[in-house]
Amino acid sequence: MCLAIPAQIVEIIDENSAKVALGSVTKEVTVTLIEEPQVGEYILIHAGFALNRIDPEEAQKTLELFDSIDLTEHLGKLA
């Protein structure tokens, strides 16, 4: 029920609505809840509304954190 999905803004229609791309489909959503949405940005969509934008830098940092986990260190200890 509360699951939101990421989508990219492809066109701003007016101050309240935008077209977003969800994979290969495009859809019109209400963007009134976010400040100054821009084409190209990713937003989280739930029930036809953009809840918030996705921060690309933070997403990158989260991924890097996973990738920096160094298992060899632990494996070395076991050996």
Judged by beta carbon, residue 13 or residue 74, the one nearer another protein is: 74
Q: Which two tokens stand for residue 72?
A: 């060899």
Which of 1, 14, 72, 76 is the binder for another protein (CB under 8 A)?
A: 1
- Cα–Cα distances (Å) from 23 to 10, 12, 33, 54, 66, in that order, read 12, 18, 23, 16, 25
* 3 belongs to the binding site for another protein (CB under 8 A): yes
* 6 belongs to the binding site for another protein (CB under 8 A): yes
27-66 positions binding another protein, by CB under 8 A? 30, 32-35, 42, 44, 46-49, 51-56, 58-59, 61-63, 65-66
Q: What is the DSSP letter of 39?
A: T
CB of 12 to another protein, least distance (A): 17
What values do phi and psi take at 74, rounded to 5?
A: -70, -40
